Amino acid sequence: MYRLVVCDNDMQFSRALESLLYSISDTLPYNISIDRFTSGEELITALKRENTRYDIIFITYEIAPDNGMETGKKIRGELKEWVPEIVFISAYSSIAPKVMPLKPFGFLRKPIDQGRLREVLTDCVQEIKNRDDIYTIIFNKELYRLSKTDILYFESEKRYKRAVTFKETVKFSGSMKEIIEAFENDSFARIHLSYFINLEHITRIKEESIIMANGDELPLSRNYEAAFWRMCSDHLGGRI
């Protein structure tokens, strides 16, 4: 799921934009959630809260009391670990050059054209996917950069985890919860308390186990079986 923000003090406009975005997302192969804010200050406060991460922010340049430019500067300057994409909105195309130093993903002019909005949303999500395709592990002063698509599965062994790929197995410390959150928008599913797998690398599903593309046979727990089949159905577009 991708988390979006609509920030505008015109409630009628923000509700209309929210409705348009949900309507567009109904035709796309991923889900979105949207939070609305009426000021830049309110948005910045939310962004600074622990565990509050947004993927895309649609913000009106003329928003009061701080304009969108000032809010954008704060987002770019104060958020270090997680920087969302920004799409500026205005009734005036002349502001587009002014916001370029903030490196926004795009610019939308009021009134919003649905076709253009769809284009910006889909392109922005693709950019996020491309940016987030690498999973970085740091352990024992060593850095590993693994392509998410190359990871077959993660295994939990008490305090440690293992990332298994076709070429190597990387052992590291961390929690399964953190791993699952990092792969929230990817084709991964939990099948057991100790296993989190890449649906793309399944070769066979048996009654109580799953065969991965490298030949490893992993247990399928009854506690996770229903959720796993739902994920498979979503992954295949509802064809199972």
Structure tokens at 233: 């159905």
pLDDT, residue 144, reads: 87
What's the whole-number mean pLDDT along residues 101-125?
Answer: 94
11-25 and 114-131 helices cross at what angle (nearest 10)? 70
Q: Which CATH topology does 2-131 take?
A: Rossmann fold (3.40.50)
d(CA 235, CA 237): 6
> Bigger pLDDT: 162 or 80?
162
pLDDT, residue 215, reads: 96
Average pLDDT score over the chain: 89
Q: Quick one: what percent of the chain has pLDDT higher than 70?
A: 95
What single DSSP character describes residue 27?
Answer: T
pLDDT, residue 5, reads: 97
d(CA 9, CA 123): 26
pLDDT, residue 77, reads: 82
Stretch(es) of the chain classified as CATH 3.40.50.2300: 2-131
What single DSSP character describes residue 64?
Answer: S
Residue 79 has pLDDT above 90, yes or no: no
Confidence band, pLDDT 50/70/90 cuts, at residue 239: very low
pLDDT, residue 29, reads: 79
Stretch(es) of the chain classified as CATH 2.40.50.1020: 135-235
d(CA 128, CA 99): 20
Whether the pTM exceeds 0.85: the reply is: no
CB-based contact 65:9 (threshold 8 Å): no
CATH of 135-235, one of 3.40.640.10, 2.40.50.1020, 2.30.130.10, 3.40.50.720: 2.40.50.1020
- State yes or no: cis peptide before 65, omega within 30 of 0: yes
Confidence band, pLDDT 50/70/90 cuts, at residue 240: very low
